Copies of this chain bind each other. A is one copy, B any other.
Amino acid sequence: MTGASICTIGDEILIGQITDTNSAHISRALNSLGIKVSRMVSIGDDHKVIIDSLSEELLANDIVIVTGGLGPTKDDITKNALAELSKAENFKTDDRQLEIIHRILSARGLDILDINLAQASVPDTCDVIPNRLGTAPIMVFRFPEERFGHKATLYSLPGVPFEALGALGDIMDDIKANYSLSDIYHRTVMTYGVAESALSKMISAWEDNLPSDMHLAYLPNAITGVRLRLSVYGAEDKEIALKRIETELDALKAILGDIIYSDRDDTLQAAIGRILEANGKTMSTAESCTGGMISSLITSVPGSSAYFLGSVTSYANEVKTNVLKVPAEIIEKHGAVSQECVAAMAEGVRNLTGSDYSVATSGIAGPGGGSDDKPVGTVWIGVSSAKGTETVKLVFNSDRNRNIERFSSSALHILYKKVKKELNN
């Protein structure tokens, strides 16, 4: 199996200024080609450290992907280290990158300085893949077998995530063209409401009986739930492989039932949106403790204006009574965090916006504000449509921002179930 290492160069990572998000993206791309990542390493902007560390990684791996160390003010260190590592005698200028540098800086109305033009200059030992999204080119160093005991390739990418991810397609194409990889196929289903460990218990018999060339990955996420990705490795025929995955997933769906909310890589907000849009229905939200996060998640989906009318964050009780028309008696009698209040909020925002569906939340995110019968972490969630209004009470046990996240994703899940039941059956 082809193996890889991912290296990040830059003091800003080592001092914790920046969290390295590139490596996870690169790793997923390599994995989807069936390439195993054995290590990830972050090192500083230091000539000797760069040469020593990259040599070590090239000795142990077929492919080394490097990000960072290529900004206009500091790329000399990385480039000189790569020149020495690859025994380059000269630098060459890549005209395609030069043109891109001119284009990008002109579009931004910036002067083109020598320091910018120097970015198109690279060791003459590398192939260049132009970087269309930024000024630093992608360098590919191909080492013959004699050098590290096996054919080894080093790809040097810019550190800016936008540019690094933009270059990934080209890098993967280059890898596919230069390595004979076993094919790998995936399918993903989305689950919500069951923790990874419990999910694993529910499906252990099914998982244990998977054919040996199939592998299940659990990919948990606080907002979207646990993704389950089923892969088949080394398949000879794509159609047969996908059909075999399909058969296994059908068995999985029979076990998990409603716990699965989508049979593609998805989010609750996108799944809700698809059902609403397909049925010509609309929605709105009324949020207290979630403070606008549900609305923010819904509108993170491109095209959400087709079905999302709007929302009211009713933090103050007066906004609940004046805007959402929650009867003041309800709040007096039951409090704002109550079944009665959240039902009235859901119905109120549906009336106010004229939407077909609505979801409402009222709870205590903390750190303060809890009581014995309504502790911090308590939330009432209401969903409403012409067919009726339902409410659910949940209690979480975390800090303010994680409580708000869990309140929001739970509310989306409850709305999803209602929308699906009423519109998709």
Which residues of A are in contact with B by a Cβ distance under 8 Å?
8, 13-21, 23-28, 31, 37-44, 49, 53, 72-73, 107, 162, 197, 217-220, 282, 285, 287, 290-296, 298-300, 302-305, 308-316, 318-319, 322-323, 352-354, 366-369, 397-402, 404
Contacts and interface: CB of A to CB of B under 8 A. Distances in A.
A310 B315 CA distance: 5
A318 B309 contact: yes
Given A16-B31, A354-B318, A293 B291 contact: no
11 contacts: A13-B24, A16-B28, A20-B40, A38-B49, A39-B42, A162-B399, A287-B292, A291-B296, A291-B298, A300-B404, A305-B315
A404 to B, nearest CB: 7
Contacts of A162: 398-399, 402
Contacts of A400: 300, 302
B40 A28 contact: no
Contacts of A17: 24, 217-220
Contacts of A311: 292, 311-313, 315
Given A17-B220, A319-B352, 6 more contacts: A14-B37, A107-B397, A162-B398, A162-B399, A292-B311, A295-B313
A133 to B, nearest CB: 10
A233 to B, nearest CB: 13
Contact of A28 (B15, B28, B399): B15
A49 B319 CA distance: 59
A265 to B, nearest CB: 13
B27 A23 contact: no
Copies of this chain in the oligomer: 2
A299 B318 contact: no
Given A16-B25, A367-B302, A315 B323 contact: no
In terms of DSSP, what is the predominant structure of the interface of chain A? mixed
A16 B318 CA distance: 46
B316 A309 contact: yes
Contacts of A217: 15, 17
Contacts of A323: 310, 312, 323, 352-353
Contacts of A21: 19
Interface centre among A13, A44, A299 (most CB of B within 10 A): A299
Given A17-B217, A18-B24, A24-B19, A299 B312 contact: no
A26 B19 contact: no
A418 B35 CA distance: 54
Contact of A292 (B13, B23, B40, B293): B293
A351 B16 CA distance: 45
Contacts of A368: 302-303
Nearest to A107: B397
Contacts of A398: 162
A108 to B, nearest CB: 8
A52 to B, nearest CB: 11
Contacts of A13: 24, 40
Of A220, A305, A310, most buried by chain B (CB within 10 Å of CB) is A310
Contact of A353 (B18, B107, B316): B316
A296 B285 CA distance: 13
Contacts of A8: 40
A154 to B, nearest CB: 18
A62 to B, nearest CB: 15
A197 B299 CA distance: 32
A-B residue pairs, 9 tightest by C-beta: A291-B299, A292-B295, A16-B27, A292-B292, A16-B28, A310-B319, A40-B42, A292-B296, A311-B313
A375 to B, nearest CB: 12
B44 A31 contact: no
Contacts of A302: 366-368, 400
